[in-house]
């Protein structure tokens, strides 16, 4: 992709907070004006954006460009979060307070490339908390470097330039690999795009989530095999990616209104 690197013309004002959630405690934020960078320092947490829920683990980073959201700790185990609140910054040619290439919430799963960002977020929070001499200067410089790393990552993972080809590629991949254990995380690994972007853009384009499309594709293929072949239900279950035949029966009946065996008999009578 031919992407120009964005230029920061006004550095951000920065605040930070560290909080520990436990016993299914919630944080809900609405009508935001800041861009937030949330680091899951330890533990696991559920995040809700526009009704879609994601599970986040230690080392994951979430960019939230002024969107409402809710975070909830999982069970009784505590989860510690560090949040940086960035405001009043601007990139050349961009709306104030927004990161280029981050139009929606963006998950950066823990990886070798995000480890330096994790360290910087922790350092920025430390500077703002300890308030040692020149702490604002130190926090500002660290944050500017963090934004450079984030923009590089976002440019590498950019989906806004070619969403149509990306989504058609994901759709085709599902159709050709339906028998595999496909998840949002595995699609993210294949297409180098965050699970958040894949889920939101796919649903907007096709009015169905990627995982629901996977299930729909599997059931469609299974229905064809039931009518056109003599494979057993157990064999077909394995062929379409369901090693557990009982679970396959439940899913198939949910989509067609009848068990695989009844579907086969009914459709073969019509031939």
Q: Which fold has domain 8-156?
A: Jelly Rolls (2.60.120)
- Taking only the tens place, the pLDDT of each residue in 89-146 is 998 877 788 787 676 778 788 888 889 999 999 999 999 999 999 999 999 999 999 9
Confidence band, pLDDT 50/70/90 cuts, at residue 160 = very low
Q: Dump pLDDT digits (tens) for 37-68.
A: 999 999 888 888 776 667 788 898 988 888 88
What topology does CATH give the domain 162-271? Arc Repressor Mutant, subunit A (1.10.10)
Yes or no: say if 246 and 237 are a contact pair by the CB < 8 Å rule. no
- Closest by CA position to 157, among listed 122, 201, 121, 115: 201
Beta-bridge mates of residue 64: 36
Q: In the structure, what pLDDT confidence band is assigned to residue 157 with cuts at 50, 70 and 90? A: low
Specify the residue for token string 């853009």: 201
Annotate 192-203 with DSSP letters as a single string: TS-HHHHHHHHH
Cα separation, 19 vs 115, in Å, equals 20
Which of 41-45, 56-60, 72-76, 207-211 is predicted most confidently? 207-211
Higher-scoring residue by pLDDT: 173, 102: 173
Whether residue 162 is predicted with pLDDT greater than 60 in this model: the reply is no
Average pLDDT over residues 207-219: 95
CA distance 90 to 220: 49
- Domains in the chain: boundaries: 8-156, 162-271
Task: Decide if pLDDT at 31 tops 80.
Answer: no
Residue 248 has pLDDT above 90, yes or no: yes
Q: What is the pLDDT of residues 219-244, one digit of tens each?
A: 999 999 999 999 999 999 999 999 99
**Checking DSSP bridges between strand 52-56 and strand 8-10, what pairing results, if any?**
unpaired
List Cβ neighbours of 138 (8 Å cut-off, separation of 6 or more): 127, 132
For residue 39, list its beta bridge partners.
Answer: 61, 82
């Amino acid at each position: 992709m031919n992407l120009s690197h964005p230029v920061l013309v006004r550095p951000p004002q920065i605040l930070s907070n560290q909080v520990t959630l436990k016993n299914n405690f919630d944080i809900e934020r609405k009508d935001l004006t800041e861009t937030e960078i949330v680091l899951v320092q330890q533990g696991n947490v559920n995040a809700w954006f526009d009704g879609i829920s994601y599970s986040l683990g230690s080392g994951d980073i979430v960019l939230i460009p002024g969107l409402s959201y809710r975070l909830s700790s999982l069970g009784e185990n505590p989860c510690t979060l560090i949040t940086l609140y960035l405001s009043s910054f601007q990139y050349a040619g961009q709306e104030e307070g927004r990161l280029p290439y981050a139009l929606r919430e963006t998950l950066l799963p823990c990886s070798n490339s995000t480890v330096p960002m994790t360290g910087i977020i922790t350092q920025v929070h430390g500077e703002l908390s300890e308030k040692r001499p020149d702490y604002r200067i130190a926090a500002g410089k660290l944050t500017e470097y963090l934004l450079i790393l984030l923009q590089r990552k976002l440019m590498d993972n950019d989906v806004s330039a070619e969403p149509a080809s990306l989504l058609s590629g994901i759709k085709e991949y599902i159709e050709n690999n339906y028998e595999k254990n496909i998840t949002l995380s595995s699609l993210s690994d294949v297409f180098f795009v965050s699970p958040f972007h894949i889920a939101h853009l796919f649903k907007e384009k096709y009015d169905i989530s990627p995982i629901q499309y996977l299930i729909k594709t599997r059931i469609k293929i299974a229905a064809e095999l039931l009518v056109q072949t003599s494979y057993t239900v157990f064999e077909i279950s394995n062929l379409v990616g369901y090693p557990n035949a009982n679970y396959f029966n439940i899913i198939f009946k949910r989509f067609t209104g009848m068990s695989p065996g009844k579907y086969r008999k009914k459709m073969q009578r019509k031939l």
